[in-house]
Amino acid sequence: MPQGSSHPRPHRVVLVVDENSNPFEMGCATEIFGLRRPELGRDLYDFRLCAADAATRMRDGFFTLTGVAGLEAAEDADTLIVPNRPDTDTPRSPRVLDAIRRAHAWGARLIGFCSGAFTLAEAGLLDGRRAACHWMWAPSFRARFPRVRLEPDVLFVDDGDILTASGSASALDLGLHVVRRDHGAEIANHVSRRLVFAAHRDGGQRQFVERPVPDVPDASLAPLLVWAQERLDEPLTVADLAAHARVSPATLHRRFRAQLGTTPLAWLTAERVTLARRLIERGEERLDVVAARSGLGTAANLRARLRRETGLSPSAYRRRFAGAPGEALMA
C-alpha cells in the first residue's frame, strides 16, 4: 500500500495463461477485473496476467502472448484464474499445476472458466467438490475425474474458495457473481451495465435452453422487464406480467424459458432480492421498508430470501457490503 494511502491494496486477481489457452476467457477476465473504473472512485481489483514461458502460443495459433509476468506472480494472488484450453485431453504443464496447488495452499481463491475445470481437477483440487464444465465435455470429464461432483447443467458453481463456469459466455456470469460477492450487488450491477450484459443470470440456470432459435421468434421481453423493474414495490404476479404483455401465462412462461432460461416467478423474485440488496447497501436499515420497497412483503420473507441467496442475515449483509454514507454508487 502506498505510504499515506487510506485504502488497502485492492484484491489481486492473477490469470495464468498456458499453451493453447482460449483468448475469449482472458478477455472476459480483463474486462471484469482489469479495467480501471474511475467513476467508482477506487479500483476494484489489481489484475495481471502471468505465464510459464516468455512467449505463449494462444488457441489455434491466433497469436502469441508476450510481455506478461512469470509464474511467480501467482504467489501474490488473492484470486487465481487457472488456464482453460480446448484440447482437454492434453496434460497441463507441471509447472502451471504446481503453481496452482501452491496458490491454493496459501489461501488463494481459484476460478476456472469453461475447460478450466479440467485444470483444477488435474491439479487434484476438485476431488469431492462441486464443479461445472461445458456440457460438451461432461462425459469425458466424468470419466477422467469420477471423484468430482460435476454439475453439468448449470452456468457456474460457487464452492467457496473454488469457482467454476461451464462455458465461454458463462465466464461473464461467474465474473459478475464474483464482483457481487466481493463488492455487493450495486457495484456488480454497475459493472454489468458497463458490459451491456444481463446481471440477472444466476449459477443455477441451465447452460442452454430448449429452443435457442424458435421457428417463429417470440417478441422481445425487454419492454416487459423494464416495466416490471419499475414496479417491484407493487404486488405483481405472473398473471399481471402476462396481462401487461397481452399473452397467456403459459405463453409468457415459454418466452421466459426460451429467452432467459428461467421462469417468470423466479425472475421476479430474483429482481426483488437484488433490489433489497441494493437498498441495504445504500444504507437503509429498516427491514420493513426494504421489504416493502422491494416487493418482498415482510421482514421475515426478506430475511429468508436474503439468507437463501447470500447465506447472510440482513445485519451480516449490511456489515459486509453497506458503504459509508454517500459512498454507495447510485443507479
Give 176-191 pLDDT, tens digit per residue: 889 988 888 778 877 8
CB atoms within 10 A of CB 10: 15
Cα–Cα distance for residue pair 163/77, rounded to 1 Å? 15
Cβ within 8 Å of residue 73, ≥6 positions away: 14, 48, 50
- Could you tell me which residue, 258 or 4, shows the higher pLDDT? 258
pTM over 0.75: no
Cell 437463501, residue located: 308
Cell 421475515, residue located: 300
pLDDT at 196: 63
Polymer length in residues for the chain: 331
At residue 22, does pLDDT exceed 90? no
Q: Where in the chain is the domain with CATH 3.40.50.880?
A: 11-190
Q: Look up residue 40 and give its three cell numbers.
A: 467508482
The whole-chain average pLDDT of the chain stands at: 84
- Lowest model confidence (mean pLDDT) among 136-140, 165-169, 207-211, 308-312: 207-211
Confidence class for position 215, pLDDT limits 50, 70, 90:
very low
- Lowest model confidence (mean pLDDT) among 2-11, 34-43, 87-96: 2-11
Nearest of 74, 231, 70, 207 to residue 152 by alpha carbon: 207
- Could you tell me which residue, 52 or 219, shows the higher pLDDT? 52
CATH topology of domain 214-321: Arc Repressor Mutant, subunit A (1.10.10)
Class of domain 11-190: alpha beta
Write the Ramachandran bin of 184: left for phi over 0, alpha for psi from -120 to 50, otherwise beta. Answer: left
- Could you tell me which residue, 284 or 7, shows the higher pLDDT? 284
Q: What are the C-alpha distances in Å from 280 to residues 221, 286, 295, 296, 328?
A: 28, 9, 14, 14, 10
pLDDT at 300: 94
Q: Where in the chain is the domain with CATH 1.10.10.60?
A: 214-321
Average pLDDT over residues 139-160: 90
- Could you tell me which residue, 56 or 190, shows the higher pLDDT? 56
